[in-house]
Structure 1
């Protein structure tokens, strides 16, 4: 990057039980497609690390990410989330995008817990 500050959003979700995987993917795929097309989105990526389903999205600013967060497929996914997964999220401004090793480490140490274990 050229030193311009961007908003980085990291999520990591752990599926509560294998039986929830179809429902997870039912929501995850449309949510990723929505993010890729969202105004202000710079990049969208996903990877599984140590059984955790991570997303790494980069945005023009936090406002753009928040508009995506509460609309369309992602809003539906958030409503279903509590019954199928637990996880952590974090977002921050940065002048570069972290690599996947950094993503997982940041998620482990600085992520805010969302959802509840059942």
Structure 2
């Protein structure tokens, strides 16, 4: 069964946006070319909030992507650039991507909050803004 991976990130300052957007583009291109990737998309949602949604053949493919290239390079930077960061994964019966509505529901009900250097009050309280 395919694995869906969704992230929600809020960049804490506009000064980090250019680098964040560059790495987002590079990581999305990397995902689209990665072995086992079935779909990859990014969207902006509100002030400095960005979502990613990827579909993978299996967890091993997703983990291989996470630990390589631009994605691996940007992960430590996000701890400083973002004041909100969360992720959710689930197995899907469908080989196609889920809707953004389904992704949001999964995030808001089952999302895991990441460790950040400068978390927002909402993030500290495990709430979404």
Q: TM-score, normalising length from structure 2?
A: 0.82
The aligned runs of 1:28-47 (5 Å cut-off) are 28-47=24-43
Greater Cα offset, 86-95 or 97-106: 97-106
SS in 1 for 2:98: coil
Is the contact made by 1:81 and 1:115 (CA closer than 8 Å) also made in structure 2? no
Q: Would you say the 8 A contact 1:11–1:55 is kept in 2?
A: yes
Match of 1:112 in 2: 112
Q: For 1:98, what is the secondary structure of its paired residue? A: coil
Structure-2 residue corresponding to 1:89? 87
Q: Which runs of 5+ in 1 are unaligned?
A: none
2:86 counterpart SS class:
strand
TM-score normalised per structure 1 = 0.89
Cα distance in 2 between the residues matched to 1:43 and 1:98 = 10
Q: Which portions of structure 1, spanning 4 or more consecutive aligned residues, are displaced by more than 4 angstroms?
A: none
| Separation in structure 2 between the aligned mates of residue 18 and residue 115 of structure 1, nearest angstrom | 21
Report whether the alignment pairs 1:72 with 2:69: yes
Aligned length: 114
For residues 12 and 33 of structure 1, what CA distance do their matches in structure 2 show?
Answer: 18
What is the CA deviation profile of residues 4-47 of structure 1, one whole-angstrom value per residue up to 9, with x for unaligned ones?
x2010000100111111012112111111100000000011111
Larger relative contact order (Cα-Cα within 8 Å, sequence gap ≥ 6): 1
Q: Deviations over 1:63-87 (max 9, x none)?
A: 0000000111000110211110131
**Cα offset, 1:105, TM superposition:** 2.0
Helix, strand or coil for the counterpart of 1:102? helix
